[in-house]
Amino acid sequence: MIDKGSLWFIIFALGIGSFMLRFSFLGLVGERSMPAWALRYLRYTAVAIIPALIAPMVALSNEANTGPEPVRLIAAIVTFSVGAWTRNVILAICTGAITLGVGLYFYG
pLDDT digits (tens, 9 = 90+) for 35-60: 899 888 888 888 888 888 888 888 88
Q: What is the pTM of this model?
A: 0.61
Radius of gyration of the chain (CA): 20
Annotated domain spans of the chain: 1-32, 44-107
What contacts 80, CB < 8 A, 6 or more positions away? 92
Tell me what pLDDT residue 91 has. Answer: 96
